[in-house]
Amino acid sequence: MIYILEGLDDFSISQRIEEIKKGVGDGEMFLANFNQFAGEKVSAAELKATVETVPFLASKRLVLVTGLLGRFEAARAKKPARAGTKGEEWRLFAESMGGLPESTLLVLVDSHASSNNPLLKEMAAGADVSHFPLIKGEQLKQWVNRRVVQSGGSIAPAAVGLLAGLLGSNLWVMASEIEKLVLFARNRRIEEADVRTLVSNSQETSVFALVDAVLEAGSTRAEKLLQQMLQSGAAPAYLLYMIHRQLHLIIRTREMKSRGRPDAEIRRELGINADFALRKTLEQARRYPLSRVKAAFEHLLETDLAIKTGKYDGETALNILVAELGRSDTTG
């Protein structure tokens, strides 16, 4: 089975991936039957060999590929080495995923794939395709209400509106703040005053500072910032995804800037609501070499895999990641 998960709502995408994972098992069985690839680097031959591998002592194997569709977007796609040969590179990947054994669950994840993406058009007919755009307006308010109820609380309509206005479509931050608000309200309804008291941009601002420290390298500032955030109650999973999200936004911003896209269009396409967040992302995109950002992003994917396969717990993996990146001088 092939699943294609596309969109900027990485929170909902991650939840969908967790649902798919349930079909593989857990613990050592999951570790033995899970493969993850960066779409920019994997070859068609490597992917073919992996998806055709028989599961080990299990009925299913999960193969997760991030960014493969984006590799063949018109603005980024590379020309084939020789025109008129057996086929462009995307065709090799389409062939590598054709005739997928029933025992393989293949998940392709990408933040953006246009309707004319050749690989998407080729694979969509035989795949379970889901789109995850950033949710806004009434949809966002409904999501907040559902999340509060699922967390065991209740919330006033005015508080929902304020929360949506303060945090926008960043569901990672939203989920974290809702959890704190439910605990804070202690079995009563969450009111507007609670949101004003408890919710702020402090954690997101701290994430920007942490990303700066990681990308600057050459010091232990990143480690010190991380410890401060953990001691203040920030969850490792939240911090990992916020760093992941910001690095991803920097890469996308650099690419759009290189094509001459205006700031307003970048804001709209990336779903950045807050002026401060836009300014900071644009600044980071200008300041740091793309090779450095991509190297950090790849380290982050390795850290995510280490957590999911049980090699490290979240806090240990995050500490190792930040220590390595903060001291590294790698520019890719």
Residues 304 and 223 in one domain: yes
pLDDT at residue 273 greater than cutoff 80: no
Give the end of a domain, one of 81, 101, 131.
131
**Does pLDDT of 279 surpass 90?**
no
Cβ-contact 53, 27 below 8 angstroms: no
Percent of the chain with pLDDT over 90: 26
Helix (H/G/I), strand (E/B), else coil: 254: helix
Question: pLDDT by residue (tens digit) across 58-71?
Answer: 788 999 999 899 88
pLDDT digits (tens, 9 = 90+) for 179-200: 989 999 988 999 998 988 887 5
State whether 286 and 177 are in the same domain.
Answer: no
Instruction: Give the dihedral sign, CA 144/150/151/153.
Output: positive
CA distance 305 to 303: 5
98 occurs within a structural domain: yes
State whether 6 and 114 are in the same domain: yes
Task: Return d(Cα 10, Cα 155) in angstroms, integer.
Answer: 25
For residue 61, the cross-strand partners are 104
Identify whether the C-beta of residue 24 lies closer than 8 Å to the C-beta of residue 60.
yes
List the domain range (segments joined by +) for residue 87: 2-131
Rounded to two decimals, the pTM is 0.62
Last residue of a domain, one of 172, 198, 224: 198
**For the chain, what percent of residues have pLDDT higher than 70?**
89
Based on the domain organization, do 122 and 150 belong to the same domain? no
Q: Are residues 36 and 104 in the same domain?
A: yes
pLDDT value of position 93: 93
Asked whether residue 219 is assigned to any structural domain, the reply reads yes
CATH at 47: 3.40.50.300
Instruction: Mark whether 85 and 156 lie in a shared domain.
Output: no
What are the backbone dihedrals phi and psi of residue 40, each rounded to the nearest 5 degrees, phi first? -70, -20
pLDDT of 77 > 70? The answer is no
Give the total number of structural domains in the chain.
3
pLDDT at 85: 39
Burial class (CB in 10 A: 0-12, 13-18, 19+), 273: middle
- Specify the range with the lowest mean pLDDT, choosing from 51-55, 82-86, 181-185, 219-223: 82-86
The answer to whether residue 263 scores a pLDDT higher than 50 is: yes
Specify whether 206 is located in the same domain as 125: no
